[in-house]
Amino acid sequence: MRRREVIAGLGAAAAWPLAARAQDDRGRAIGVLMPYAESDAELEVRVAAFKQELGKRGWIEGKNLRFHERWATDDLERLRAHAAELVGLRPDVIIVTGRRVLPVIQQATRSIPTVFVWVTEPLGQGITSLARPGGNITGFAAPELSVFGKLPEILKQIAPHLTRAALLFNPDNPAGASYARQWESAAPALAMRPAVVPVHGPADIERAVESFAGEPNGGLLFPSDLTLLAHRELIIDLAARHRLPAIYADRIMVTSGGLVSYSADRTEMYRQAASYVDRILRGEKPGDLPVQQPTRFELVINLGTAKALGLTIPLTLQAQADEVIE
């Protein structure tokens, strides 16, 4: 080999680590898998809170951090495709939301650290211990199912005349059956007749609400569910049209025009998730980080919707509310 070629080869070898370091200088990468529409401004608020909290911890998008976001709406096949795509990009951490989404990412990777937000009953979902989940997954659980029992209690305070209520949920939601059991066990103490109505999409929702509205003194219960959230405008319109008091497990439903909600503060949970992502980026293992339970809950009441339904919100309940929408 000629001396010139040897020198060139040595130069290339010396340059290789520099090139590698230059590539690393682009920063760390986070995959975001959301089962909602990207155009959903309300849901984007949660991701923005997550990014803002990371910024406070020194992770700045475009400086030392980049995001790979995938928004899939309520479409399981699209979720699977997005999950595979994200895994192929090899981010340092993936953040996901929802119990229907967690198994999808588990099937796609068992190695990339993953932080979940709002997964109902995470034990048994590939997690054997909340204190030390092990493996590549940890996160922030949805409230215990007993919290859901407060929803019909609050609804009854607002509308004491109710003698029956229907729980709507998508049976594809693994937590749906648990919500149904909670409602059926809580109903007798409230002197209410329980109905459980599975729905898969807008046509089912419309038929169910219109059928249920055929009898008087009825109300509606909506648990946390991707399908219900995706069709919230239809749900809120149907409840208003048929003058049915309804309570929801997500404040977004109330800020969009619904009557009342009671749930954990989901935006706060996304901020908390940023703390776990920060710790993982700094070298901690997800399996060593305990799964957290919600600690902050919020009651949100829409007085305008109550007035339109001819309901008077008790002052004691208004005083307990975290947010009252005029």
15 in any annotated domain: no
Domain match, 87 and 227 both: no
4 in any annotated domain: no
Domain match, 149 and 131 both: no
6 in any annotated domain: no
Domain match, 171 and 306 both: yes
At 72-119, the pLDDT tens digits run 988 889 999 999 999 999 999 999 998 889 999 999 999 999 999 999
Provide the pLDDT for residue 74: 83
Domain match, 214 and 308 both: yes
| CATH number for 186 | 3.40.50.2300
Amino acid at 280: I
Domain match, 195 and 231 both: yes
234 in any annotated domain: yes
8-12: long-range contacts at Cβ-Cβ below 8 A with a sequence spacing of 24 or more?
none
Q: What is the mean pLDDT of the chain?
A: 90
Domain residues for the domain of 248 are: 145-264+298-325
Domain match, 213 and 258 both: yes
Domain match, 281 and 138 both: yes
E strand intervals along the chain: 28-34, 65-71, 93-97, 114-119, 137-141, 164-169, 193-198, 218-222, 246-248, 260-264, 297-302, 323-325
**Cα of 58 vs its chain's centroid, Å:** 25
Domain match, 94 and 151 both: no
At 163-215, the pLDDT tens digits run 999 999 999 888 888 899 999 999 999 999 999 999 999 999 999 999 999 99
Task: Give just the sign of the alpha carbon dihedral 244, 247, 250, 256.
Answer: positive
| 162 within 8 A of 246, measured Cβ to Cβ | no
Mapped onto helix, strand or coil, the DSSP state of residue 165 is strand
291 in any annotated domain: yes
Domain match, 242 and 260 both: yes
Q: What is the mean pLDDT of residues 242-249?
A: 98
CA count, 13 A, side-chain hemisphere, 60: 4
7 in any annotated domain: no
> By CB neighbour count within 10 A (0-12 exposed, 13-18 middle, 19+ buried), where does 44 fall?
middle
Q: What is the mean pLDDT of residues 121-143?
A: 91
| 169 within 8 A of 179, measured Cβ to Cβ | yes
At 266-319, the pLDDT tens digits run 999 999 999 999 999 999 999 999 999 998 899 999 999 999 999 999 999 999
Beta bridge partners of 96: 33, 116
Domain match, 254 and 220 both: yes
Domain match, 310 and 276 both: no
Provide the pLDDT for residue 26: 61
Residue 41 pLDDT level (bands cut at 50, 70, 90): confident
Provide the pLDDT for residue 9: 40
Domain match, 91 and 186 both: no
- Total domains in the chain come to 2
**Separation between Cα atoms, residue 187 and residue 56, nearest integer Å:** 45
**What percent of the chain has pLDDT above 70?**
92
10 in any annotated domain: no
**What percent of the chain has pLDDT above 90?**
79
124 in any annotated domain: yes
Strands 193-198 and 164-169: parallel
pTM score: 0.88
Say which residues have a Cβ less than 8 Å from residue 274's Cβ, sequence separation at least 6. Answer: 50, 51, 53, 54, 57
